[in-house]
A and B are shown apart, each in its own frame.
Chain A
Amino acid sequence: MNPHVDFHAFAPEIVLTVTIVAVLIADLFTDDSKLPARIAALGVLGSLVPVLTLAVDGQTRSLFGGAFVVDPFSLVLTGFFLVAGYVTLLLSFDYIGEGDYYQGEFYVLLLTSLLGMIVISSARDLISIFVALETITIPTFVLAGWRKHDTKSNEASLKYFLIGVLSSAVMLYGMSLVFGLANSTVLVDIHKYASGHTPALFAVAVFLTLVGFAFKVSAVPFHFWAPDTYEGAPTPVTAFLSVASKAGGFVALLTIVRLGFFPSGNSWQPILWVLAAASMTLGNLAALRQTNIVRMLAYSSIAQGGFILVPLAVAGDVRGNAAWQAVVIYILIYGAMNLGAFAAVIAAARRTRSAEISRLAGFGRTNPAIAVMFSVFLFSLAGIPPLAGWFAKFVMFRAVFDANTTVAVVLGVIAAVNSVIAFFYYSGVVRRLWFDEPAAGVELSSPRLPVGLSAAMGLMTAVILVVGVYPQFFARLGEIAFQRG
C-alpha cells in the first residue's frame, strides 16, 4: 500500500532536514568555519516560509491516520520554535566560534533538536510524541557536554543523560499501559476511551506518563538535574534547554492532556496541581539563595514552569479554551523573556568574565545599554507592567478565576504569593546592576558585542515592550491556536 503523503504539510520538517544534511556536508568539505552557521540560520528562516504558506492556506491537514496533524495550534507553535531556534543561533555564533569547538556538529545537533520540536507541535499520537520528544532530548545530551575539557560540563551532560533516559523509560512504560487499556496510541481514541468508565490502572498509566513529562519540563520534585545541567552547559545551550526544549515538553503535555486524557480529569488534575504548586514554591525559594546568575535563572525557570502548569492544572473547570490559551500565551511570552535574559547573561559575562551576581555590581554605570535590556528581561519575568510578563501572569490568573473552584483558587493564591517572592530575587539582580558601585576590573564598553548577540537582545526587548503594551499580538496567536481550522 502506498499511502498518500501531503508534502505541503511536511514542508517545514523537510526544509529543516535538508538544512541539517547541508550543514553536515558543508562542514565536511569546507574549512570556512562560518559557512555551517550561515546555512543553519538560513535553513531555520527557510523553514518559516512553508509555515507561513500553510497558515495562509488555513486548512487542517491530518496525516497517518491522525497521528500527525497540521492545524492552527501546530503552526503557531512551529513558528514559535523556529523563531526561538533562530535566536539561539544568534546567541551561539560567537560563543561557539570563539571557543574553538566543533562548529559543524554543534549546529547539526541544535537543528536536529529543533526538528523534534516542530514535529512535536503536530504530533497527535503517543508514538509520534515520544519519538519527537526523544529527537529533542538526545542531541541536547551531547550539547550540554560541549565544553568537553570542563568537568562541570561533563557532569552536566551525564546527569542530564541519566535522568533523561530514566524519565523516558518511565514515560514509555506509562504510555504502554495507556495503549494496553485504550487499544490505540492515537490521542483521539484515548480521548474516547477516557470518556467512559476507566479502571484504576488507567490512573497509574496517566501518572507514569505525566511523571515522565515532569522530568522533561523540570517540574519539582523531578527538577534536580536542571540547575547543574544549566550551569555546566554552554550558556547558549542553556538558553535553548530552558526555553525551546522545555516548551517542547509543555506542548506535548498540553496536547496529551487536552486531546487524550481530558475527560478523566481526576486522573491528571491532582498530579498537575501538585507539580504546579511545588514547582512555583520550591523554584522561587531556591532561586532566592543563588549567587550564580545562571543557577538563579535555572531555578527561576523551574518556577516559571510552575506558573505554566497552573492553567493546565485547573483546565478541567475552565470554560472554552481559556486555560489552553493561557498556556500557549505564557509559553510565547516566557520564551521571549528567558531568551532575552540569557542573551543578557552572555553579554554581561563577556565583560565581567564571570557568572557571579556580585560581579554585576554597578554594571549599569559601565554598560548602560546591556543593563537596561537586562533589567527589562528581569522585570518582565517578575511580571511588572508594561513589560510582556504581566500579561502572561494575567492570563494565568484569569484561568484560575474562570475555573472558580476551591482548589483552583488555592492554587491562584499560591501563585500570587510566589509572584511577590519572585520579584525579590529578580529585583536583587537589578539592584546590583544599578544601585551598587561598580566593581573593580569590569571592562568598559569595549570590545564591541557580537552583532548576533546585540540583535538577539534588541529583538527580544522590542518583543517584550510591544507585547507588554499591546498584548493582543500574542493573545491573538493564543486565540488562533485553538480555533477550529
Chain B
Amino acid sequence: MHWFDDWALTLAVFIPLVGLAAVLFIPRAHEQAIKTTALVASLATLAVGVGILADFNYSQGGKLQFIVDKSWIPLIKARYHMGVDGISLPLLILSMLMVVLCIIYSWNHFPEPHNPKAFLALILLLAVGMNGTFVAQDLILFFVFFEIVLLPMFFMIGVWGGPNRQYAAIKFFLFTLFGSALMLVSFLAIFFLSKHQTFQMPQLAQFGGSGIASGTQALVFGGLFLGFAIKVPMFPFHTWLPDAHTEAPTVGSVLLAAILLKLGAYGFIRIALPILPAAARAWAPWIGLLAVIAIIYGALCCLAQRDMKRLIAFSSVSHMGFVMLGIATLTSFGINAAVFGMVAHGLITGLLFFVAGSVQERYKTREMNRLGGLLTQAPKLGWILGFTVMASLGLPGLAGFWGEFPAILSAYNPAKLTQGLFNGDQLLTFRVYLVVAAIGTVLAAGYLLWMLQRVAFGAVKAEFENVHIHDVHVSEWIAWVPLLLLIVALGIYPNLIFHITHGAVSNVSKVFGG
C-alpha cells in the first residue's frame, strides 16, 4: 500500500484537526452531532493507527517507517519530516487510543460549565499535538507539536477545573513554557554547532554531537534536560503536577498522566540521548539520582495525601522516576523498560484517574477520610479500582510489573559513563539506586493499598449511607474495558511491546555500548 505509507502519519496527525474544524462549525445546540463528529474523528485517527500497526515492518523496528519528508520552512531549514520507529509506535497508538476513550467517557458527563463543543474541540487539538510530537523527526516540528499541547490543557484546567483552577492552569503553563524556551534555545544551539546545520533528528543522531566541545555539549544538554525534565516531571521540577492533576477535570487528568508526561521522557530517548551522547554519559548519574529521589519522594508524598487524585498525581511522579531510572542507565535493557513503563503507566494511571473521577462524580468528594465502602455500594467500580491498584503497584502478571522490574534491574549494570557519584564509582552509584528504587516499590504497595483500603473497604460513612451510588455506567464500561484488557494482555505477554521497541532502542543504546 504505497499510498498509505506516504499519507499515514499526516492523516494520524491532522484527522483530529479536521474533526476540530468540523466541530467548530456545528452550532452549539446540536450537542449530539458535536459529540458524534468528535468521536468519529478520533475513531478515524485510531483506524489509521491500526493501519500503521498492520503495515509496520516489525523485523525492521529500528528503522524509521512511513516517512514523510517535505519542504516546510526552507528559510530556517526546517522540514515537514515525520516517521515512526519502534519507540514512537507504542506511544503513538496509546495516544490515539486514550483520546477515543476520553471522548467516550465524557459522553454523558461533561464537567461544569458543560459546553461539550469547546471541550471536545480542545481534546482534538490536544490529539494533534500529542500524535505529532511522537512522529516528528525535525526538531522545529517537534517543538511546535510539543507546544500545541499547552494551550488546550491550559484551557481545560482553567475552565473546567476545580476551585483552585486558575492557579493550577497558570502554574502548569509557566513551568512548561520556561522549559520549552530553554529547549528551543538548545535546539538552535545544536543547529548552529552541528557541521551540517540541520534540524533533522536522524542526521543529528548519526552525527552524534561530534565536533561539539564537551563543555558546550553539557550545557546544551542542560537546556534539553530542563525542557524535558519539567514535562516528565522529574524532581525537583514536579511541583506543577499535583496542582494541575488535582484541579483538572477527569479527562484532563487522564490525558495529562497517560500522554503528556510521556512527551518529556520520549524527548530524552528520541532527542537528548542520541544527539548528545557524550553529554548524556556525563549527566546520566545525576539523572539517575533525581529519578530515585523522585521515586522515594513521590511515594512519601503519596502517604501524606488525603485527596485521592492528588495521591495518584504523586504516584505518577514516583512511577515516572522508574522510567527515568531506566533511561539513565543508557542500556538497551533500561530504555526498553522505560518505554514499556511509559505505556504501562499510561494505561494504568489513566484508568486510576478515570476511576477517581467517577468516584468524585458519585460522592462529590475525593477526600479519602470521607470515603469508604465503595465495594458495598458500587462493587464493580470497587473491583476495578482494586484491579488497577494491583496493576499500579507492579503485581507480576499485570502491565505495571514489566515497566518497573526491568527498570530496577537495569540499574545493576549501567552503560559506561564518564563519571559516577561515590568517588566516581558508577557501578556502585547505580547499584545504590537499585536498592533505593526497590524500596520505592514497597512504599508504592503501601500507599496504593492504603488508598484502596480507605476508599473501597470498610463500611460506608454515615453521610453517604442513604445516597444512591450508581455502579459502572455503560459509557464507563466502554471506556475502561480496553484498558483493563490491555493491562492484562501486556502483563501476560510483555513481548507485545518489547518486540516492537527492541530494534529502535538498540539504535539508541548502541552508542553507549549497551
Q: Is the CB of A434 within 8 A of B151?
A: no
Q: Is the CB of B147 within 8 A of A394?
A: no
- Chain A interface size, as a band, is 20 to 34
- Please give, as numbers and ranges, the residues of chain B lying within 8 Å of A384 by CB-CB distance: 147, 150-151, 177
Q: Does B192 contact A (CB under 8 A)?
A: yes
Q: Which residue of B lies closest to A417 (CB)?
A: B181
Q: Is the CB of B73 within 8 A of A401?
A: no
Q: Give A residues with C-beta under 8 Å from B.
A: 325, 365, 368, 379, 384-386, 390-391, 394-395, 397-398, 401-402, 404, 412, 416, 419-420, 423-424, 427, 431, 434-435, 470-472, 475-476, 478-479
Q: Give B residues with C-beta under 8 Å from A.
A: 71-76, 113, 118, 140, 143-144, 147-148, 150-151, 154-155, 158-159, 165-166, 169-170, 173-174, 177-178, 181-182, 184-185, 188-189, 191-192
Q: Which residue of A lies closest to B117 (CB)?
A: A368
- Bound state CA distance, A310 and B158, in angstroms? 34
Q: Is the CB of B72 within 8 A of A397?
A: no
- Bound state CA distance, A434 and B155, in angstroms? 8
Q: Is the CB of B192 within 8 A of A402?
A: yes
Q: Is the CB of B178 within 8 A of A398?
A: no
Q: Is the CB of A394 within 8 A of B72?
A: no
- Bound state CA distance, A397 and B143, in angstroms? 14
Q: Is the CB of A390 within 8 A of B192?
A: no
- Please give, as numbers and ranges, the residues of chain A lying within 8 Å of B191 by CB-CB distance: 401
Chosen A-B contacts, 15 in total, with CB atoms closer than 8 Å, are A365-B113, A394-B140, A394-B184, A397-B185, A397-B188, A401-B192, A412-B185, A420-B177, A423-B174, A431-B158, A434-B158, A434-B159, A435-B159, A472-B75, A475-B75
- Please give, as numbers and ranges, the residues of chain A lying within 8 Å of B182 by CB-CB distance: 416
The 3 closest A-B pairs by CB, nearest first: A475-B75, A385-B147, A385-B144
Q: Is the CB of A385 within 8 A of B170?
A: no
Q: Is the CB of A386 within 8 A of B170?
A: no
Q: Is the CB of B192 within 8 A of A472?
A: no
Q: Is the CB of B75 within 8 A of A479?
A: yes
* A8 nearest CB across to chain B (Å): 30
Q: Which residue of A lies closest to B165 (CB)?
A: A435
Q: Is the CB of B178 within 8 A of A420?
A: yes
- Please give, as numbers and ranges, the residues of chain A lying within 8 Å of B155 by CB-CB distance: 434
* B135 nearest CB across to chain A (Å): 16
- Please give, as numbers and ranges, the residues of chain A lying within 8 Å of B154 by CB-CB distance: 427
- Please give, as numbers and ranges, the residues of chain B lying within 8 Å of A431 by CB-CB distance: 158, 166, 169-170
Known pairs A385-B148, A395-B76, A423-B174; list 14 more (Cβ under 8 Å).
A384-B151, A386-B144, A395-B75, A397-B184, A402-B192, A416-B185, A423-B173, A423-B177, A427-B154, A431-B166, A435-B169, A471-B73, A472-B73, A475-B73
- Please give, as numbers and ranges, the residues of chain B lying within 8 Å of A394 by CB-CB distance: 76, 140, 184
Q: Which residue of B lies closest to A416 (CB)?
A: B181
- Please give, as numbers and ranges, the residues of chain B lying within 8 Å of A325 by CB-CB distance: 75
Q: Is the CB of A401 within 8 A of B188?
A: yes
- Please give, as numbers and ranges, the residues of chain B lying within 8 Å of A365 by CB-CB distance: 113
Q: When the two chains form the complex, which single residue of A386, A404, A419 contacts B181, counting CB atoms closer than 8 Å?
A: A419
- Bound state CA distance, A390 and B144, in angstroms? 9
- Bound state CA distance, A397 and B159, in angstroms? 33
* A5 nearest CB across to chain B (Å): 36
* A480 nearest CB across to chain B (Å): 10
- Bound state CA distance, A42 and B310, in angstroms? 61
- Please give, as numbers and ranges, the residues of chain B lying within 8 Å of A402 by CB-CB distance: 192
- Bound state CA distance, A431 and B74, in angstroms? 36
Q: Is the CB of B151 within 8 A of A379?
A: yes
* Given A404-B192, A434-B155, A479-B75, A386 contacting B148 (CB threshold 8 A): yes
- Bound state CA distance, A412 and B76, in angstroms? 18
Q: Which residue of B lies closest to A479 (CB)?
A: B75
- Bound state CA distance, A478 and B73, in angstroms? 12
- Please give, as numbers and ranges, the residues of chain A lying within 8 Å of B72 by CB-CB distance: 470, 472
- Bound state CA distance, A419 and B71, in angstroms? 29
- Please give, as numbers and ranges, the residues of chain A lying within 8 Å of B165 by CB-CB distance: 435
Q: Is the CB of A427 within 8 A of B173?
A: yes
- Bound state CA distance, A424 and B177, in angstroms? 11
- Please give, as numbers and ranges, the residues of chain B lying within 8 Å of A398 by CB-CB distance: 76, 188
- Bound state CA distance, A11 and B184, in angstroms? 44
* Given A397-B188, A431-B166, A476-B75, A385 contacting B143 (CB threshold 8 A): yes
- Please give, as numbers and ranges, the residues of chain B lying within 8 Å of A434 by CB-CB distance: 155, 158-159
- Please give, as numbers and ranges, the residues of chain B lying within 8 Å of A395 by CB-CB distance: 75-76
- Bound state CA distance, A471 and B74, in angstroms? 10
- Bound state CA distance, A117 and B192, in angstroms? 36
* A339 nearest CB across to chain B (Å): 22
- Please give, as numbers and ranges, the residues of chain A lying within 8 Å of B73 by CB-CB distance: 391, 470-472, 475
- Bound state CA distance, A420 and B118, in angstroms? 27
* Given A384-B150, A384-B151, A475 contacting B188 (CB threshold 8 A): no
- Bound state CA distance, A431 and B166, in angstroms? 8
- Please give, as numbers and ranges, the residues of chain A lying within 8 Å of B184 by CB-CB distance: 394, 397
Q: When the two chains form the complex, which single residue of B74, B147, B158, B177 contacts A475, counting CB atoms closer than 8 Å?
A: B74
Q: Which residue of A lies closest to B148 (CB)?
A: A386
- Bound state CA distance, A184 and B228, in angstroms? 56
* A390 nearest CB across to chain B (Å): 7
- Bound state CA distance, A434 and B160, in angstroms? 10
* Given A420-B177, A435-B166, A401 contacting B189 (CB threshold 8 A): yes
- Bound state CA distance, A385 and B140, in angstroms? 11
Q: Is the CB of A475 within 8 A of B76?
A: yes
* A114 nearest CB across to chain B (Å): 29
* A289 nearest CB across to chain B (Å): 17
- Bound state CA distance, A470 and B144, in angstroms? 11
- Please give, as numbers and ranges, the residues of chain B lying within 8 Å of A385 by CB-CB distance: 143-144, 147-148
- Bound state CA distance, A379 and B181, in angstroms? 15
Q: Which residue of A lies closest to B181 (CB)?
A: A416
- Bound state CA distance, A199 and B178, in angstroms? 45
* A34 nearest CB across to chain B (Å): 33
Q: Which residue of A lies closest to B143 (CB)?
A: A385
- Bound state CA distance, A352 and B413, in angstroms? 66
Q: Which residue of A lies closest to B154 (CB)?
A: A427
Q: Is the CB of B75 within 8 A of A478?
A: yes
Q: Is the CB of B188 within 8 A of A435?
A: no
- Bound state CA distance, A478 and B75, in angstroms? 9
* B485 nearest CB across to chain A (Å): 35
- Please give, as numbers and ranges, the residues of chain B lying within 8 Å of A386 by CB-CB distance: 144, 147-148
* B136 nearest CB across to chain A (Å): 12
* B127 nearest CB across to chain A (Å): 14
- Bound state CA distance, A394 and B192, in angstroms? 14
* B452 nearest CB across to chain A (Å): 35
* A60 nearest CB across to chain B (Å): 22
B73, B113, B150, B170 interface centre (most CB from chain A within 10 Å): B73
- Please give, as numbers and ranges, the residues of chain A lying within 8 Å of B189 by CB-CB distance: 401
Q: Which residue of A lies closest to B192 (CB)?
A: A401
- Bound state CA distance, A128 and B30, in angstroms? 60
- Please give, as numbers and ranges, the residues of chain B lying within 8 Å of A435 by CB-CB distance: 158-159, 165-166, 169
- Bound state CA distance, A470 and B178, in angstroms? 24
